[in-house]
């Protein structure tokens, strides 16, 4: 016997076929159902419609759908049942909500604002924002007036999906067209969206608008502002709103504490961050993994490694889940301090407990090994990464090439560099600059110059550091003329950029000039010394052009060169 349950028969009314006049195309004249669809996924501009099945969250709703109710339910009863399907615990049962919606339309009832809002909320929880907005439009065209909750759900979901402009338009429609006064939830959602989009000015204006309406901000509102200012590095503003929040008697949440502790740690105020850490525990707000990681990062950056390790051990005792970020931060901090042995033991430990090192962790360990003279171990680690099929990015290759060049293992570095393209990677300006520097140190100026032209040919534009590197190499090698040519090329290329190079970009030249000044100024100049002094003086004039300001000591240095060049025709 065929089931009378429309849900069992996969008969869902597709809401984009709902018409205000007839309300539904799902029901046919003979009382049967036309097979229709329910949206569950959006791809591109169109919705895909599938039926997931499953049991309803409410047995009462199921009985109504199956026709087991002894009497025909009123419209309110049907609409009330749909509310069961909009919560997170019933997320997979939104299908049944639309099934009931179909039944409401079939029986000639008109859905209420609560019904529409419940279905819209269900779609939003599933991440189906476009179908949700479409249903909202159908609702308004059908004469059902949305309320503050309906707008709140749509605005919040639009913001969480990065569609802030649409959220702002919806907010304006809510106030100016519908004359609905937003509540703190709506304001907080939009302020959060604006802050995450780096539109802090608009967020502050909205915050003041909210206060002018007499709507008090809550912890979420303040948290959004604090997060926004923190992300932009405006630590003082973030602190101001945190203090204002506390002064108003609003208890910060763990999330807000985390943001402020992270901001203070990055600003170098680790002592103040520690005070907040202790404060939140006294207030019964248990620090989470994010809190501990922020504190550990702050301790590492402020050379308080023992304190960082103590917190790490405390995390283990509390049973908190240790992740890559915790280990990467500690490994990096320990390596910077030269404590490679401890860093190595942490790398081994994390793998023992099932945490696989990521590219950041490996990068920190490799950098530490190279910088602390453990070259063979660094090479071994790098080779093991390759052997395990680990996806190595260009940053790691650049790090390894730099480490090998500094360790005077240039041939290995060069082999790795020229093998990068075979790995499907493209050297960036950092990689090229490192290799050019290595070539200059080896006295391979012709090859360095050739690589400079090659990088430009491959679409990689040299930056000031690249030019500094090859100019410095050529000067040390005594090729003044080529150094001058590259200096002029640097200035010509920079003249097209928004920020022209200042004389400070080439102060390294004056460090070299200083030794020549001593040679010439003390009366021990030779013809070669005089020639270099004259060449450097020309370069000094080139650098000290109108609009560029040199420190007094450097100006005096260039004047000495000019006088020396003029006194030796």
DSSP per-residue letters across 514-550: HHHHHHHHTT---HHHHHHHHHHHHHHHHHS-TT---
CA distance to 115, 412, 444, 476, 523, per residue, from 415 (Å): 67, 5, 15, 25, 47
Is residue 257 over pLDDT 80? yes
Give the pLDDT confidence score for residue 317 in this predicted structure.
93
Give the pLDDT confidence score for residue 103 in this predicted structure.
60
Q: Are 233 and 258 in contact (CB under 8 A)?
A: no
Q: What confidence category does residue 105 fall into, taking pLDDT thresholds of 50, 70 and 90?
A: low
305 φψ region: left (φ > 0), alpha (ψ -120 to 50), beta (else): alpha
Q: Do domains 91-206 and 420-519 have the same CATH topology?
A: yes
Pick the CATH number of 91-206 from 1.25.40.10, 3.30.110.70, 3.50.50.60, 3.40.50.2020: 1.25.40.10
Fold of 420-519: 1.25.40
Q: Are 61 and 96 in contact (CB under 8 A)?
A: yes
CA dihedral sign, ordered 71, 77, 82, 88? negative
**What average pLDDT does the segment 223-232 reach?**
86
Q: How far apart are CA 171 and CA 396, in angstroms?
A: 46
For residue range 326-358, list pLDDT tens digits in order.
Answer: 999 999 999 989 999 999 999 999 989 888 888
Q: How many CB atoms lie within 10 A of CB 230?
A: 23
**What average pLDDT does the segment 196-200 reach?**
89
Q: Are 57 and 85 in contact (CB under 8 A)?
A: yes
**What average pLDDT does the segment 188-198 reach?**
90
**What average pLDDT does the segment 119-139 reach?**
83
Is residue 428 over pLDDT 90? yes
Q: Where are the domains of the chain?
A: 91-206, 420-519
For residue range 382-415, list pLDDT tens digits in order.
Answer: 999 888 878 899 999 999 999 999 999 999 999 9
Q: How far apart are CA 326 and CA 297, in angstroms?
A: 8
Give the pLDDT confidence score for residue 554 in this predicted structure.
47
Q: Which residue has the higher pLDDT, 143 or 16?
A: 143
Cβ neighbours of residue 307 closer than 8 Å, sequence gap 6 or more: 299
- What tokens does 165 get? 């402009």
For residue range 491-527, list pLDDT tens digits in order.
Answer: 777 654 444 444 334 444 554 454 444 443 444 444 4
Q: Report helix, strand and coil shares of the chain as percent, to nearest 5.
A: 65, 0, 30
Among 120-134, 162-176, 388-402, the minimum mean pLDDT is found in: 120-134
Q: How far apart are CA 220 and CA 236, in angstroms?
A: 19
Is residue 52 over pLDDT 80? no
Q: Are 234 and 271 in contact (CB under 8 A)?
A: no
Give the pLDDT confidence score for residue 99 in this predicted structure.
61
Share of the chain above pLDDT 90, in %: 33
Q: Are 260 and 276 in contact (CB under 8 A)?
A: yes
Is residue 68 over pLDDT 50? no
Q: Which residue has the tokens 């100026």?
A: 445
Q: What angle do CA 463, 464, 465 make, to 5 degrees?
A: 90
CA distance to 152, 161, 197, 245, 258, per residue, from 225 (Å): 19, 18, 12, 11, 14
Q: How many CB atoms lie within 10 A of CB 200?
A: 18
Q: What confidence category does residue 294 fall into, taking pLDDT thresholds of 50, 70 and 90?
A: very high
| pTM for the whole structure | 0.63
Q: What confidence category does residue 535 fall into, taking pLDDT thresholds of 50, 70 and 90?
A: low
Q: How many angstroms separate the first and last alpha carbons of the chain?
A: 113
Q: Which residue has the tokens 């005792």?
A: 317
Q: How far apart are CA 479 and CA 333, in angstroms?
A: 41
Cβ neighbours of residue 464 closer than 8 Å, sequence gap 6 or more: 490, 494, 501, 505
CA distance to 10, 93, 218, 455, 509, per residue, from 429 (Å): 58, 53, 47, 8, 22
Q: What confidence category does residue 439 fall into, taking pLDDT thresholds of 50, 70 and 90?
A: very high
Q: Which residue has the tokens 């003086």?
A: 537
């Amino acid at each position: 016997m065929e089931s009378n349950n429309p849900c069992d028969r996969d008969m869902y009314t597709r809401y984009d076929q709902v018409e205000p006049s007839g309300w539904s195309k799902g029901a046919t004249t003979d009382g049967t159902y036309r097979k229709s669809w329910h949206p569950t996924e959006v791809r591109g501009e169109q919705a895909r419609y599938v039926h997931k099945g499953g049991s309803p969250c409410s047995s009462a709703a199921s009985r109504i759908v199956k026709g087991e109710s002894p009497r025909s339910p009123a419209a309110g009863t049907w609409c009330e049942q749909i509310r069961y399907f909009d919560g997170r615990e019933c997320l997979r049962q939104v299908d049944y909500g639309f099934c009931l919606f179909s039944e409401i339309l079939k029986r000639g009832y008109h859905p209420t604002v609560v019904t529409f809002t419940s279905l819209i909320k269900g779609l939003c929880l599933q991440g189906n924002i476009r179908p949700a907005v479409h249903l909202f439009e159908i609702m308004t065209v059908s004469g059902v007036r949305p309320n503050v909750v309906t707008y709140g759900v749509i605005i919040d979901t639009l913001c969480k999906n990065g569609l802030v402009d649409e959220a702002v338009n919806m907010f304006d429609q809510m106030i100016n067209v519908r004359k609905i006064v937003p509540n703190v939830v709506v304001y907080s959602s939009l302020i959060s969206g604006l802050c995450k989009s780096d539109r802090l000015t608009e967020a502050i204006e909205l915050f003041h608008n909210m206060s002018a309406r007499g709507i008090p901000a809550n912890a979420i509102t303040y948290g959004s502002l604090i997060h926004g200012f923190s992300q932009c590095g405006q630590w003082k503003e973030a602190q101001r709103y945190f203090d204002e929040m506390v002064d108003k008697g609003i208890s910060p949440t763990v999330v807000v504490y985390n943001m402020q502790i992270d901001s203070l740690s990055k600003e170098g105020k680790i002592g103040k961050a520690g005070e907040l850490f202790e404060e939140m525990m006294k207030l019964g707000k248990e620090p989470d993994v994010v809190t501990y990681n922020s504190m550990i990062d702050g301790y590492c950056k402020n050379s308080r490694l023992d304190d960082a390790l103590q917190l790490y051990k405390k995390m283990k005792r509390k049973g908190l889940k240790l992740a890559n970020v915790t280990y990467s931060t500690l490994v990096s901090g320990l390596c910077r301090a030269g404590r490679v042995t401890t860093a190595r033991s942490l790398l081994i430990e994390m793998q023992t407990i099932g945490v696989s090192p990521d590219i950041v962790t490996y990068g920190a360990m490799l950098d530490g090994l190279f910088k602390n003279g453990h070259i063979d171990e660094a090479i071994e680690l790098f080779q093991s990464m390759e052997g395990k099929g680990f996806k190595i990015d260009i940053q790691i290759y650049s790090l390894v090439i730099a480490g090998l060049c500094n360790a005077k293992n240039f041939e290995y570095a060069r082999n790795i560099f020229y093998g990068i393209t075979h790995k499907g990677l493209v050297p960036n300006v950092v990689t090229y600059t490192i290799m050019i520097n290595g070539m200059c140190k080896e006295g391979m100026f012709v090859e360095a110059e050739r690589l400079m032209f090659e990088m430009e040919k491959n679409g990689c534009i040299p930056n000031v550091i690249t030019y500094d590197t090859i100019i410095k190499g050529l000067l040390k090698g005594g090729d003044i003329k080529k150094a001058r040519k590259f200096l002029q090329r640097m200035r010509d290329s920079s003249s097209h950029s928004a920020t022209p190079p200042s004389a400070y970009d080439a102060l390294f030249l004056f460090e070299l000039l200083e030794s020549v000044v001593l040679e010439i100024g003390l009366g021990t100049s030779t013809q070669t010394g005089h020639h270099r002094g004259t060449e450097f003086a020309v370069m000094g004039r080139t650098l000290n052009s109108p609009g560029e300001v040199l420190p007094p000591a450097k100006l005096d240095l260039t004047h000495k060169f000019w006088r020396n060049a003029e006194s030796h025709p």
